[in-house]
Amino acid sequence: MKVLYCPKCRDLFKLTRKELRECKCGRVKGKYRTKRDRNRGTDET
Ligand SMILES: [Zn+2]
pTM for this predicted structure:
0.60
pLDDT tens, 1-45? 788 999 999 999 998 888 899 999 999 998 887 766 566 656 555
Delimit the domains of the chain by residue range. 1-37
What's the pLDDT score for residue 18?
Answer: 87
Ligand 1 centre and the CA of 5: distance in Å? 8
Ligand 1 centre and the CA of 25: distance in Å? 4
What's the pLDDT score for residue 37?
Answer: 58
- Taking the alpha carbons of 16, 19, 43, 26 in that order, is the dihedral positive or negative? negative
What's the pLDDT score for residue 10?
Answer: 97
Ligand 1 centre and the CA of 8: distance in Å? 5
Q: How many other β-carbons are positioned within 10 Å of the β-carbon of residue 39?
A: 9
Residue 22 to residue 42: CA distance in whole angstroms: 10
